[in-house]
Chains A and B, each alone.
Chain A
Amino acid sequence: MQPFTQLTAVTAPLIRANIDTDAIIPSREMKTVSKTGLADGLFAGWRYTQIGGREINPEFVLNQPAYAGAQALLGGENFGCGSSREHAVWALAEFGIRAIIAPSFAPIFQSNCVRNGILPVRLGADEVAAIAGWVTANPVGNRVSFDLPQQVVTAATREFRFELASEPKEMLLEGLDAIDLTLKHSAAIASFQRADQTERPWIYDIGGR
């Protein structure tokens, strides 16, 4: 996984509440059992003029030349709600998105972001709106800076501090594989299971009929 430390990026405002994972990557765009080949289908319902088509909808923010190469998004409340599909995050990452600022994230989506090198930044709705106003004035020039070690987003002269628990922060900073981290605790897991097996044998002994 690509680590995240700092980023200064063209940031596209997509401030709608409840942008769900099916809007981010419609199910019809998940064509094979794969984590790749998804960027083309990102926001397909909004990005293209026709369902399943590829004719560009010039209105959609990510299609506007000023936002070309955007690596960050500004979103509305409950960003990433709906289906748990990690394809939404894989599509965003493949498209080049590295950070998302929103007033709130759906829990599964937020955790999927962290596991794929995308920084979820939670700020107040007013703060998100303020950043959007500044960005919109000059999308190419007004780039938003993200500093994960300091937990600060900078837009114009304003700095916005954001909260992130230490585990997701570490995972993003180091680009860590959580499985490897957990396997370091194999001894603790084994001893838990030994005790638990006596306590709750039915958990482990699944006969089925």
Chain B
Amino acid sequence: MSANTPQTLFEKLWRQHLVKELPGGVALLAIDRVFLHERTGSIALKSLREAGRAIVDPSRVFCTMDHIVDTLPGRGDDTQMPGGKAFIIETREAARAAGIHLFDVRDPDQGIVHVISPELGIVLPGTTIVCPDSHTCTQGAIGAFAWGIGSTEAEHALATGCLRMNKPKTMRVRFEGKLAAGVTAKDLSLVMISRFGSVGGNGYAVEYAGSAVEALDIEARLTLCNMATEFSAVTGFVAPDDKTFAYLQGRRFVPQASDWDRAVESWRQLRSDDGAVFDVEHVIDVSDLAPMITWGTSPQHAVQVQESVPSQAASGASEEGYARALAYMDIQPGLPLLGLKIDAAFVGSCTNSRVSDLRRAAAVLAGRQVAPGVRAICVPGSMAVKRQAEAEGLDHIFKAAGFEWRESGCSMCFFAGGESFGAHERVVSSTNRNFESRQGPETRTHIASPETVVASAIAGRIADARDLANLPVR
């Protein structure tokens, strides 16, 4: 490839971090940032220490408490997860011994890893950042190469400052057109996965582009990139632009003083050149999209909220998978999603728990009440999000409507062994996974945007926030 050949953004990110090409098409890639959390990072730190290996550069390693820590008011090290306290204490001790940055339980900057990393300017455009967590791809929204790894690979990154990997293929998904009111980045993710399948991105680094992506604010881009792992992609990312730079400026860990200008100048090169060739390119016209919701147990089982449970043929699922999903979710083909009675509503997770998510949800909720019998919970993604939301009075709207208002963390996005929704309960959730038992043993999760979640909480049934006029006012 000559110097003038148009390059994709991914090619640029790859080349900038290429330490050495090794035999067999493997590359040694430099890793700029490692993030850990108490669920899977603890074991990496422990195992590394037991092997007698040191972390090459602790100043570039960060750790948060988000997965096991409770989100109930007044929380400390005690958690509802049996044995959870030991994870927290061991992680704290290992992090301190290793000299890495730790956002501990009571730290004002504590929060979900993929929420606080951009919020604190830890992930920057053009960085490689890894975390033993599958949703690390979220952070690609900043224009970074960010991906989830296993604990053994995390040890490798900590001990060597590098990872060995085969180069992924490139895909670009262009979302073109203007989103209708009430349609969000979450819906873009679900449309893409339902259209191309939950393995549609397998083997690819996926660049999201097009006029609709350019129009998204940074928080919405984080939502879009979050679910690249549900697409089975290595990662998803968006080229950084002026919005990205404005979002980052002044944050805690961003480049200082004259470095900032130099950095921004170099970040401006981080875009796919005109004429760059991708292995695969998809275009999605967004102008006629509607809010999406899942009906089954894979994120690809998604339809527009006003649609019905599809037939097997239309669903794209195998006969076995389709039957299993229907039985698990207790639904039948042809059943309209709208009006399906729910037991719970959850606003939170690294997908949709940022302040813009809470603002949009609160706009639907204002002056309304959660339906009797529905348990409704809002968990801000970080303590900073929580503070900002409280400064704007959003907490009052949530609480007045009947929502629980929590401390930040992963909370009931996944079942860690402690708190959960009940067996067979139907939950409308702003999270990213509707797998069997994801939010508790035998819970039934429908994933959707925060707007759809709160509209459903008010109605006590799956509802469309665009029908706001028809939602009861207190």
Binding site for B on A (CB under 8 A): 15-18, 20, 22-23, 26-35, 45, 51, 76-78, 81-87, 89, 104, 106-108, 111-112, 115-116, 165-167, 170, 178-179, 181-183, 185, 188-189, 192-193, 196, 200-209
Contacts and interface: CB of A to CB of B under 8 A. Distances in A.
A33 B86 contact: yes
Given A27-B417, A202-B124, 6 more contacts: A18-B298, A179-B160, A182-B156, A203-B32, A207-B256, A208-B253
A22 B161 contact: no
Interface stretch (B41-49, B274-282, B363-371): B41-49
B435 interface: yes
Nearest to B91: A33
A58 B375 CA distance: 36
Contact of B83 (A22, A32, A81, A193): A32
Contacts of B253: 206-209
A89 B150 CA distance: 10
A182 B256 contact: no
A111 B335 CA distance: 40
B87 interface: yes
A15 B104 CA distance: 42
A78 B46 contact: no
Contact of A204 (B60, B124, B260, B414): B60
Q: Interface centre among A18, A27, A35, A207, by most B CB within 10 Å?
A: A18
Given A17-B318, A33-B87, A202 B134 contact: no
A123 to B, nearest CB: 15
Contact of B202 (A18, A107, A196, A203): A107
When A and B form their complex, which 7 residue pairs have the shortest distance between CB atoms, in order from nearest? A166-B24, A28-B417, A202-B255, A112-B150, A86-B150, A167-B26, A84-B134
A18 B30 CA distance: 32
Interface in B53-67: 53, 57, 59-60
Contact of A84 (B83, B150, B255, B320): B150
Interface in B119-162: 124, 126-127, 132-134, 148-153, 155-156, 159-162
Contacts of B437: 22-23, 26, 45
A39 B90 CA distance: 22
Contact of B149 (A108, A192, A196): A108
Contact of B252 (A86, A87, A189, A208): A208
Nearest to A206: B59
A15 B436 contact: no
Interface in B315-360: 317-318, 320-321, 324
Nearest to B234: A107
Interface of B: 19-20, 22-26, 28, 30, 32, 39-40, 42-43, 46-47, 53, 57, 59-60, 81-83, 86-87, 90-91, 101, 124, 126-127, 132-134, 148-153, 155-156, 159-162, 164, 166, 198-199, 202-203, 230, 232-234, 252-256, 259-260, 262-263, 266, 297-298, 317-318, 320-321, 324, 414-417, 433, 435-438, 441
A182 B340 CA distance: 54
A81 B152 contact: no
A154 B287 CA distance: 51
Contact of A45 (B101, B317, B320, B441): B441
Given A32-B86, A83-B134, A189-B19, A115 B152 contact: yes
B320 A106 contact: no
Contact of A208 (B91, B101, B435): B101
B232 A185 contact: no
15 contacts: A15-B320, A18-B435, A22-B435, A23-B437, A31-B82, A33-B86, A89-B150, A106-B202, A112-B150, A115-B153, A178-B164, A185-B19, A193-B30, A203-B32, A204-B60
Contacts of B252: 208-209
B414 A83 contact: yes
Contacts of A104: 199, 202, 232
A178 B198 CA distance: 30
A106 to B, nearest CB: 6
Nearest to B260: A202
Contacts of A206: 59-60, 253
A92 to B, nearest CB: 13
Nearest to B254: A202
B266 A200 contact: yes
Given A51-B441, A203-B127, A209-B252, A84 B132 contact: yes
B250 to A, nearest CB: 9
A104 B34 CA distance: 28
Contacts of B161: 189, 193
B164 A182 contact: yes
A107 to B, nearest CB: 6
A173 B232 CA distance: 27
A84 B133 contact: yes
Contacts of A165: 24-26, 166
Contacts of A77: 199, 318
B232 A33 contact: no
Contacts of B166: 165, 167
Contact of A23 (B39, B90, B132, B435): B435
A28 B415 contact: yes
Contact of B19 (A29, A81, A89, A188): A188
A45 B161 CA distance: 38
B435 to A, nearest CB: 5
A201 B60 CA distance: 13
A152 B164 CA distance: 25
Contacts of B87: 33
A185 B28 contact: yes
Given A18-B198, A86-B150, A167-B26, A27 B414 contact: yes
A114 B31 CA distance: 21
